[in-house]
Amino acid sequence: MPHVAATIQSAIDLFPCGLVVTKRNERTIVAANQHFYDLCPLQPGSSASISAIFTNASRIMLESYVMPLLLSKQQCDEIQLSIEKENGERLPVLVNARITTEFPELIHWVITAAKQRDELYQELVNLRNHLEYKAEVFSNLARTDELTGLLNRRAFIENAEILIGDAQRQQRPYAFFMMDIDNFKAINDRYGHDVGDRVLRDIANIFKPNVRDTDTLARVGGEEFAIVAQVQSAEHAKAYAERLREAVSAESVAGIQVTISIGLATSKQHSLSQLFKHADKLLYAVKNTGKNQVMLTAL
């Protein structure tokens, strides 16, 4: 029989996880396989309490959660604790435990190192974060004008529709600004498209600090920019447009004196497409009456 017992112990020692049997009340170790001792700081044959192998935080978890659950349900599955090694290293482990009807005074434990699982989990978390970041980047690229960094036409329409819907529900006036760089074709023809691109970027950078965070600003065409904003009144919208026009006129853009023309439509009930149509007509009228002006219609 001693030979049989030794054979069984040798077989148990081959298991790639810690197998432990402890007393139910004291939790002192009655038997364990070699893998258990490879995981923890105890020596084979030790009769210490199983709680001795864990970190302080894991001991609290063991006494306040694992043991009450085990004693009431007779089993506890996949609880993550940490073993404290002799060198102070902390090893994450998964703990499963059972109390059987055949041996009610004993607790049978299976302890498995979870370090690789934790590393894999962290890799998956990092991969997920990276994919979420890439998705956000691609989403922003799909909504952003590459040259100026402003919203593109598609994103502008989406945001403007939301802003107008909110204003209509609150019965507040809103305005559509259609803005066009004067003589832009002549700038491209005279100075080249590189300078023309710089003018577009510089104009966008002038607009940005002069437009409120609550407004929607975009580049909607070649040299055309647009804004949708909630306003207090038509007069307030006209003053807002004049400030933008003057801000551009006051700057030397790419070393060139540049001006803009603005068609402006305000309303409390009209749709974005209706405002767009009216503002575009006014912009065309401005272009034919001297440029560098603001023309308003209150619908």
pLDDT in tens, 78-124: 888 999 988 888 888 999 999 999 999 999 999 988 876 666 566 76
Does residue 138 lie in a domain region? Answer: no
CATH number of domain containing 47 = 3.30.450.20
At residue 132, does pLDDT exceed 80? Answer: no
Residue at 299: amino acid letter: L
**What does the block give as tokens for 99?**
């109390």
Residues 151, 269: one domain?
yes
Task: Label each residue of the chain as H, E or C.
Answer: CHHHHHHHHHHHHCCCCEEEEEECCCCEEEEECHHHHHHCCCCCCCCCEHHHHECHHHHHHHHHHHHHHHHHHCEEEEEEEEEECCCCCEEEEEEEEECCCCCCCEEEEEEEECHHHHHHHHHHHHHHHHHHHHHHHHHHHHHECCCCCCECHHHHHHHHHHHHHHHHHCCCCEEEEEEEECCHHHHHHHHCHHHHHHHHHHHHHHHHHHCCCCCEEEECCCCEEEEEEECCCHHHHHHHHHHHHHHHHCCEECCEECCEEEEEEEECCCCHHHHHHHHHHHHHHHHCCCCCCEEEEEC
Residues 88, 168: one domain?
no
Q: Tell me: the pLDDT tens digits for 175-221? A: 999 999 999 999 999 999 999 999 999 999 999 999 999 999 999 98
Our count of domains for the chain comes to: 2
At residue 3, does pLDDT exceed 80? Answer: no
Q: Domain range for residue 178?
A: 145-298
At residue 5, does pLDDT exceed 60? Answer: no
Does residue 134 lie in a domain region? Answer: no
**What does the block give as tokens for 285?**
């009228």
Sign for the CA dihedral angle at 279, 285, 291, 296 comes to: negative
Q: Which of 5-14, 162-171, 256-265 has the lowest mean pLDDT?
A: 5-14
Residues 38, 171: one domain?
no
Are 238 and 231 in contact by the 8 Å Cβ rule? The answer is: no
The more confident residue out of 68 and 11 is 68
What value does the mean pLDDT of the chain take? Answer: 89
Does residue 127 lie in a domain region? Answer: no
Are 167 and 174 in contact by the 8 Å Cβ rule? The answer is: yes
Does residue 132 lie in a domain region? Answer: no
Q: Which residue is catalytic, options 63, 161, 223, 246?
A: 223
Q: What pLDDT was estimated at residue 128?
A: 77
Residues 48, 193: one domain?
no
Does residue 179 lie in a domain region? Answer: yes
Q: What pLDDT was estimated at residue 7?
A: 60
Q: What pLDDT was estimated at residue 248?
A: 95
Q: How many residues does the chain have?
A: 299
Residues 211, 269: one domain?
yes
Task: Say how far apart CA 169 and CA 275 lie, in whole Å.
Answer: 17
Does residue 123 lie in a domain region? Answer: no
CATH number of domain containing 161 = 3.30.70.270
Q: Is 223 a catalytic residue?
A: yes
Where is the domain boundary, 94, 114, 134? 114
Does residue 77 lie in a domain region? Answer: yes
At residue 1, does pLDDT exceed 50? Answer: no
Does residue 126 lie in a domain region? Answer: no
Where is the domain boundary, 95, 114, 133? 114
